[in-house]
Structure 1
């Protein structure tokens, strides 16, 4: 296992370099003047443009710019905005909120989605099965911003159960409803994926053997059936954490959450390429590390999988 983890960590290096280079090239190769509107209604002085061009290495080819940026990343420096703010400071204040929101959404979609999938997978073709299938289809067809707006109006404005806007502290309790909104679509997919996987593995030979040996139903389901059926679900949940963090722009906008989504949106509007590049680079790291964690969990869930 140790050799496998080390080999996978080494494989992450070229993947990280390739993905971050593509991101950097796409963002910084966009046409247009990056300093347009920086000096108000008047055009920026030539001295200012020359200084900023030198500071951000805009005269160099994209490949040279990228490796200079990569060297800064290795030193923990994500760059500066055009106004002189450190991108790492901006992310340090915004990322904890988004991480809490993504974790809440992941827990909600895992608990409710897996629970509903187990219920319908073991007792299919009944009222509960039809109810879950219709509910998940409803969530899949409903856009996230509609779900968020409806819950905000009903639970916040009409019934007064929650605050319509999350406070600046963004406590765990305040993030339950936004987390449900953010993870609602993935929750529907998790429920359907769990149901399908359980129904397929119920007819597997190892399940028939366990039943024929006279094992208790709880042991058959919990030890044999459920562990093997969770492999595709764990794969989906592991890769979904990065998607939840990157796709929180709409949810954070609805509930006025000061997280990474609003930071990305503002950076796109103001054409702050350094901020966008730094945030997406960090998301790439989250994706890569979560994929590694999912691969390691395979061997824990399925004893037939061994990494030599």
Structure 2
């Protein structure tokens, strides 16, 4: 196991370099001068544009720009915005909020989605199965911003069960409903994926062997069926963490959450390329770490998998 972990960590290095280089090129290859609109209605002086271009190394070839950026990044320096603010500080202020929101969303999609999938997968076709299939299809078909607005209007303004917006502290309890909105589509996919995986594994040879041996039904379901059926579900949930953190722009906007989504949105409007690049680099790290954890959990769920 130790050699496998070391090999996987070494494999992450070229993946990280390749993805971050691609991100850097795509962000900084956007046509137009990012400093052109910084002086209001009047055009910026040539001296100002020249100094800003030199400060952000835009005169260098893109590979040189990337190497300088990565050199600063390895020291913990994410660069500065055009107004002189530290990008690393902005990310450190907004990222914990989005991380808590993503954790709540993943917990909701895992608990509700897996439970619904297990119940429908074990019972087979019936009223509950049809209800879950219809409700999950309904959630998948409705855009996230529609779900968010409906919940906010009904529960926030009409029934007054919740506050329509999240406070600046963004405590865990306040993030339950935004987390449900953010994870609603993924919850539907988890439910369907769990149901399908269980239905397929119920007909597997090892299930018939366990039944022929006379093992208790609880052991057959808990040890053999659910553990093997959890592998594709675990893969989906693990990779969904980074997606939820990066795709929370709409949900954070609806509930006025000061997270990464709003930070990226404002950065795109203001052409703050260093903020966009820094946030996406952090998301890449989250994806890589989660994939490594998922690979290690495969051996825990399925004893047939061994890392030699």
Q: TM-score range by the shorter chain?
A: over 0.9
CA distance in 2, matches of 1:217, 1:135: 30
1:224 aligns with 2:228: no
1:16 aligns with 2:46: no
CA distance in 2, matches of 1:36, 1:54: 15
1:109 aligns with 2:117: no
Deviations 1:31-51 (A, max 9, x none): 101111212222222222222
Quote the residue 1:135 is aligned against. Answer: 135
Matches for 1:172-191 after TM superposition, within 5 Å: 172-191=172-191
CA distance in 2, matches of 1:71, 1:133: 50
Quote the residue 1:276 is aligned against. Answer: 276
CA distance in 2, matches of 1:150, 1:200: 36
CA distance in 1, matches of 2:119, 2:106: 19
Q: Which structure 1 residue ranges, 4+ long, deviate > 3 Å from structure 2?
A: none
Quote the residue 2:100 is aligned against. Answer: 100
CA distance in 1, matches of 2:90, 2:170: 16
1:56 aligns with 2:77: no
Compare 203-212 and 72-81 and name the one that shifted more. Answer: 203-212
> Structure 1 length normalisation: TM-score?
0.99
Quote the residue 1:69 is aligned against. Answer: 69
Quote the residue 2:156 is aligned against. Answer: 156
CA distance in 2, matches of 1:88, 1:117: 41
Matches for 1:285-304 after TM superposition, within 5 Å: 285-304=285-304
Matches for 1:201-216 after TM superposition, within 5 Å: 201-216=201-216
How much does 1:211 deviate? 1.6
Quote the residue 1:7 is aligned against. Answer: 7
How much does 1:104 deviate? 0.2
Quote the residue 1:245 is aligned against. Answer: 245
How much does 1:210 deviate? 1.4
CA distance in 1, matches of 2:161, 2:146: 19
CA distance in 2, matches of 1:76, 1:231: 35
Unaligned stretches of 5+ in structure 2?
A: none
Quote the residue 2:200 is aligned against. Answer: 200
Quote the residue 2:25 is aligned against. Answer: 25
CA distance in 2, matches of 1:144, 1:211: 43
Quote the residue 1:86 is aligned against. Answer: 86
CA distance in 1, matches of 2:36, 2:291: 40
Deviations 1:99-131 (A, max 9, x none): 000000000000000000000000011111111
CA distance in 2, matches of 1:150, 1:261: 20
Unaligned stretches of 5+ in structure 1?
A: none
Deviations 1:268-300 (A, max 9, x none): 000000000000010011111111111111000
